[in-house]
Amino acid sequence: MPFTPLHMGPGMAVKATCPRHFSIVVFGLTQIAIDLEVLWHLIQRERPLHTFWHTYLGATILAALLTMLGKPASQRLKATWNWFARTCGLENLTVLRRTTWLAAGTAAFAGTYSHVFLDSLSHSDVQPLQPWCPGNPFRGAISPRALILTCVLSGIAGLVWFLVRQVGRKKTDRQSSEAGL
């Protein structure tokens, strides 16, 4: 995958299907964290770009770390988002749920493993099964165009589903509170 934002598409689809057990914030943090390796190698002008963190072993270590750091980071980001939404008069876009450890862990592991898998489909320097198996058995299993299209469409579908559910939930909450007055 050429850009980390494309990795967010499948994550948004998962968030839409199981919102309580998956943190899209932690998932996003994993996408950024794992690609810091690529940024480092680009800055250093080193090849290959995808090394240890783009293996399933590296992804497992990174996911464990991001579970621990991601939960509090997610809660801080949600608090900031809610403040911003209220300040701008967008109360319908505030988020109510706190990030659970389960949601943080699910998102961190799904985020790192899916990132390694998606990158292994399109980058020749990814060796996802190192140190046990050299090479990349997944490279070329799907065309780059089909991979990008799948990620974009899953992201759009997930985002629409999530936003419709959020607005519907807010409407139901408002009607319930008005009926109780």
Residue 181 lies in a domain: no
Residue 110 lies in a domain: yes
The percentage of residues in the chain with a pLDDT greater than 90, rounded to a whole number, is: 71
| Residue 124 burial (10 A CB sphere; 0-12, 13-18, 19+) | exposed
Task: Please report, in angstroms and rounded to a whole number, the separation of the first and last CA atoms in the chain.
Answer: 52
Residue 84: CB partners within 8 Å, gap ≥ 6? none
Residue 30 lies in a domain: yes
Could you report the per-residue pLDDT of 131-144, keeping only the tens digit for each? 999 999 999 899 88
What pLDDT score does 170 carry? 65
Give the DSSP H/E element, type plus range, for residue 173: helix 144-179
CB contact at 8 A, 8 and 28? yes
* Count of structural domains within the chain: 1
Residue 170 lies in a domain: yes
Residue 35 lies in a domain: yes
Position 95 confidence tier, pLDDT thresholds 50, 70, 90:
confident
Could you report the per-residue pLDDT of 8-22, keeping only the tens digit for each? 999 999 988 888 899
Vertex 109: Cα angle to 56 and 126 (nearest 5): 30
CB contact at 8 A, 91 and 85? yes
**Is the preceding peptide bond at 144 cis, omega within 30 degrees of 0?**
no
What pLDDT score does 93 carry? 79
Could you report the per-residue pLDDT of 18-71, keeping only the tens digit for each? 888 999 999 999 999 999 999 999 999 999 999 999 999 999 999 999 999 999
What pLDDT score does 2 carry? 47
Taking 90 as the threshold, does the pLDDT of residue 163 lie above it?
Answer: no
Question: Whole-prediction pTM value?
Answer: 0.85
Question: Which two tokens mark 44?
Answer: 């250093």
Structural domain that includes position 102: 4-174
Residue 105 lies in a domain: yes
Phi/psi for 123 (5° steps) reads -115, 130
Residue 180 lies in a domain: no
Residue 179 lies in a domain: no
